[in-house]
Amino acid sequence: MSVLLDVQELQTRFQVRKGYVYAVNGISFTLEEGETLAVVGESGCGKSVTMLSLVRLLPPAASIENGKVLLRGEDLLELNLRQLRDVRGGEVGMIFQDPMTSLNPFINIGTQMAEPLVYHRGMSKSDALARSAELLEMVGIPDGEARLREYPHQFSGGMRQRVMIAMSMSCEPAVLIADEPTTALDVTIQAQIVDLVKELRDRSGVAVIWITHDLSVVAGIADRVIVMYAGYIVEEAPVDALFEDPRHPYTVGLMGALPSLTGETGTRLTTIGGSPPDLIELPDFCPFHPRCPYAIDRCRKENPMLEPVAEASDRGHRAACWVDIRDVSVSSEAGVAAD
């Protein structure tokens, strides 16, 4: 497989009244053709800002300070607006968190779905409508042709997310960025949407970046996982490696907060005490150390780089931590729970 998307040293910050908030701090990752990459982390860790930075859809206060976003070798950050529009929707499709507000309430579904086809593929309106009806059936909305004439408020949340997925996939993009697409939906619908994206991925070979804070979804869909914290990638690993052998204390903490179907019942889930740091300046320490049960002196003085982990580097497993947490048998549960 070849590299489709290569993000290098991406740095994005927000201008606020008293300076800057550093949201994404020089992160690098790659996405291979047809691969599914999950990006996990808690709210405010920079997941969404990273993805919006890729196609420069950031709010006005945010600016990309540094980095490259190479899509098949072409730097998206260097494109002019017209070229960028061809990439958006054409090469890179996006789905968002809240399907209830992601469709224009004043335009019927058909017209809305036909727009990108007319714009990117140069189809005639009637061809685009016919294709839209097919797409609706493809994402599991029966009687697509009749439903094209309906308006967003006549669709349920799950259906609207299906429409959004159909729209984002309509021009056969190379990359689909899904920004917490299941967060606003209830659990049964979540599973359906995950299955739908999997099915579309397997059929079309699109590479998927799936942003979520739900590790159970990650296990079901991803090939590889990136764990983000405070605008840094703190761990990167193939999905099974991450679940079997997490190497960053933050990942361990996330796993601990996950209920298990097979483990002992009656045990408490652990939480990670404290809250993420304010990123008003770039830290010269490990941003996780105040919440970390493994923290040593070095963590307070130097920010660790993302480096291959011991004895598993050949699988592309990398983590940003000064401590090899396998060597330390801290009373981690106690330390975490005590906070």
CB 162 within 8 A of CB 152: no
Nearer to other proteins, 25 or 170 (CB): 170
CB of 211 to other proteins, least distance (A): 14
Q: Which is nearer to other proteins, 23 or 230 (CB)?
A: 23
Q: What does the binding site for other proteins look like in residue numbers (CB under 8 A)?
A: 55, 57, 59-60, 84-90, 93-94, 96, 98, 101-108, 115-116, 119-120, 149-151, 153-154, 164, 167-168
Cα→Cα distances 40→48, 209, 211, 214, 263, Å: 10, 11, 6, 7, 23
CA distances from 133 to 113, 142, 168, 251 (A): 9, 9, 14, 43
Q: What whole-number distance in Å separates Cα of residue 293 and Cα of residue 287?
A: 13
Closest CB to other proteins among residues 103, 138: 103
Report the b/e string of 57-79 with b at 16+ CB within 10 A: ebeeebebeebebbbeeeebbeb
Nearer to other proteins, 106 or 262 (CB): 106
Supply the minimum distance, in Å, between the C-beta of residue 86 and other proteins: 6
Closest CA to 144 of 116, 169, 110, 174: 110
Shortest approach of other proteins to residue 170 CB, angstroms?
A: 9
Of 174 and 320, the one with the shorter C-beta distance to other proteins is 174
Q: For residues 160 and 201, which CB has a smaller minimum distance to other proteins in the complex?
A: 160
Instruction: Give the amino acid at 155.
Output: F
Residue 6 CB, shortest distance to other proteins, in Å, is 21
Distances (CA, A) of 205 to 36, 169, 210, 234: 10, 11, 15, 28
Please, what is the minimum distance in Å from the beta carbon of residue 153 to other proteins? 8
Phi–psi pair at 215, nearest 5 degrees: -65, -25
Min dist CB 184 to other proteins, Å, is 11
